[in-house]
Structure 1
Amino acid sequence: MVNNYWFEAKNINCFKNGFKVIKNLDLKITYSENVILIGPNGAGKSSLIEVINRNIYPVVADNSMLKIFDKENINLWELRKRISTVNNDIKNRINPNLKVYDLIKSGLYGKYCYISIKSAEDHYKVESLMKVMNISSLANKFFSYLSDGEKQIILIARALIRKPDILILDEPIANLDYKSKFFVIDKINELSKSNTKIFCVTHDISMITDIYDRVIMIKKGELIADGNQKKVINSSNLKKLYGIDAEVIKKNGLWFLNRLFK
């Protein structure tokens, strides 16, 4: 029997630095859906990414279970091949004088540095990906010369070079100006046409576009809502999530939050 889920958690609890960061989590995610996880700062979003990447482990209990790609004990090398994660900490690891082409190529070797190996196959993979993502014009630019939005897209391209099953985007539009923000959102929307599925983590409701089949809301380590956009995104759920009175509006495929004043 074929298992349709790449992630399955049943009643798991996780601790980090003595604090319970994931509470009684029941969650299944299929191979066929793009998912967005939304919640305020400190909600447990990054902790769930750490669970997926096997950086933290759930408490062992008789009534709990965690499977990734249908395996309770998955090999970490296999996991790294099938899931690529892009977070904002990555930017600090990169030599500012590394060119875009070389940075993307480094993803084939699991590094963040210049790769001296000359390979026609590598060149084809990098050139093809840059062409598909319409970023070929950036190939010879130094990473430090890019705008923040361009940097984010190049890191996403690097994560995609090995064609993972799942791309995890951790706060992809955090600290971006409006131009960079919309640039990144548009590029991610284009990526939804590829075979790689997106698991996006954000605190920003404007990140939720039509490409996401499912919205999950998390607060204090617990899921408070889960379903399609029409079901989940409403004023009641957003009040639970952020603790504010607000109305939510969808316009031109984007969600907007307007605070209500008494």
Structure 2
Amino acid sequence: MILTLENVSLIRNGKWIIENINWKVKKGEHWVLFGLNGAGKTALLNMLNAYYFPTKGKVKVLGREFGRAPLAEHLRTKIGLVSSSLQQKLYPADNAFEVVLSGAFASIGLYETPTDEMRQKAISLLKELGCFEYANQEYGSLSQGERQRVLIARALMADPELLILDEPTNGLDFIAREHLLEGIESIAKGSGAPTILYVTHHVEEILPTFGKTLLLKKGTVFGSGETKEMLSEQILSKFFDIPVEVVWSNGRPLLSKKVTFS
């Protein structure tokens, strides 16, 4: 089991951010965490990474139960995280190759001497994700799509058991988004792939490889299960509180508001 949450609630600044979350993710499953802005997605991710601890309930991630075992060092080398908050912490003057190498040490910046094996692995990941051609460019000079590719390569350096992609296509145009999604799908289908948790509020980004979906609404689980079931017109219309239409094309959903004629 990759993660287990049992009746988990979190209070911050006197307000319940998430309440009574029950969720289990098995090894090899690829999940979507879907919710609108303010649904509690970020708080939940911070908890999975041991930045927050639950006010109530039990959290177990990668075999470690919160409150019963040392967490931070263990989890942050076993979880690959790609997020906008991480992107802002990196040094713009470091080149893409150095940023990827830093993932082997789970550090911001490269302070230790990487082995030849690490260097070869970084090169392989840069090539796999289509960013080898700008390996020597400063991270700060890269486009948003290029930065996201580099961040994913960095996240994979330590062979994580869990890869969390938090809104990875934010700020990308259509072409850059699709190229990035192709890279993610390739990773998911590769041998020895980590369990992937894809966080988004855009239905059209959800790839066929993500067979499970958790719908988060106002800090609670609205629904959880097979992606095709969770993204049905009936369930999503209730989720959004408006009638919606879902069209599936090439295994991916397209969402629009249903037009009714009086």
TM-score > 0.5, shorter chain as reference: yes
The alpha-carbon distance between structure 1 residues 71 and 114, as it changes in their structure 2 partners (threshold 3 A), is closer
| SS in structure 1 of the partner of residue 64 of structure 2 | coil
Deviates more, 1:34-43 or 1:236-245: 236-245
Superimposed CA distance per residue, residues 92-134 of structure 1 (whole angstroms, 9 cap, x where no aligned partner): 2223222111111111222232447253222122122223333
Superimposed CA distance per residue, residues 204-243 of structure 1 (whole angstroms, 9 cap, x where no aligned partner): 1012111112011010111111111221111222223223
Mapping of 1:53-92 within 5 angstroms? Answer: 53-60=49-56, 64-72=57-65, 73-75=68-70, 76-92=72-88
* Structure 2 counterpart of 1:261, from 255, 259, 262: 259
Partner of 1:120: 116
- The whole-number CA distance in structure 1 between the counterparts of 2:23 and 2:55 is 16
- The whole-number CA distance in structure 2 between the counterparts of 1:18 and 1:180 is 40
Unaligned runs of 5+ residues in structure 2 are none
- The whole-number CA distance in structure 1 between the counterparts of 2:48 and 2:109 is 26
Superimposed CA distance per residue, residues 136-187 of structure 1 (whole angstroms, 9 cap, x where no aligned partner): 2121122123221111111111011111000011111122221221121111
Superimposed CA distance per residue, residues 54-76 of structure 1 (whole angstroms, 9 cap, x where no aligned partner): 1212224xxx4222223323422
Partner of 2:213: 215
| SS in structure 2 of the partner of residue 12 of structure 1 | strand
- The whole-number CA distance in structure 2 between the counterparts of 1:80 and 1:226 is 26
Superposition TM-score, scaled by structure 2 size: 0.91
* Structure 2 counterpart of 1:171, from 159, 163, 167: 167
Note if 1:31 corresponds to 2:27: yes
| SS in structure 2 of the partner of residue 192 of structure 1 | helix
Partner of 2:250: 252
Offset, 1:259: 1.3
| SS in structure 1 of the partner of residue 29 of structure 2 | coil
* Structure 2 counterpart of 1:234, from 199, 220, 232: 232
Q: Is the 8 A contact 2:162 2:196 kept in 1?
A: yes
Superimposed CA distance per residue, residues 20-76 of structure 1 (whole angstroms, 9 cap, x where no aligned partner): 11111111110120001101100111111111111212224xxx4222223323422
| SS in structure 2 of the partner of residue 36 of structure 1 | strand
**Aligned-CA RMSD value:** 1.7
* Structure 1 counterpart of 2:127, from 128, 131, 151: 131
Offset, 1:77: 1.0
Q: Is the 8 A contact 1:38 1:201 kept in 2?
A: yes
Deviates more, 1:50-59 or 1:196-205: 50-59
Partner of 1:205: 203
Q: Is the 8 A contact 1:105 1:115 kept in 2?
A: no
| SS in structure 1 of the partner of residue 136 of structure 2 | coil
Q: Is the 8 A contact 1:39 1:241 kept in 2?
A: no
Mapping of 1:132-147 within 5 angstroms? Answer: 132-147=128-143
Partner of 1:11: 7
Unaligned runs of 5+ residues in structure 1 are none
- The whole-number CA distance in structure 1 between the counterparts of 2:129 and 2:172 is 20
* Structure 2 counterpart of 1:97, from 77, 93, 98: 93
- The whole-number CA distance in structure 2 between the counterparts of 1:9 and 1:239 is 27
2:196 partner amino acid: I
The alpha-carbon distance between structure 1 residues 118 and 53, as it changes in their structure 2 partners (threshold 3 A), is closer
* Structure 2 counterpart of 1:47, from 43, 54, 60: 43
Q: Is the 8 A contact 1:11 1:26 kept in 2?
A: yes
How many residues align? The count is 255
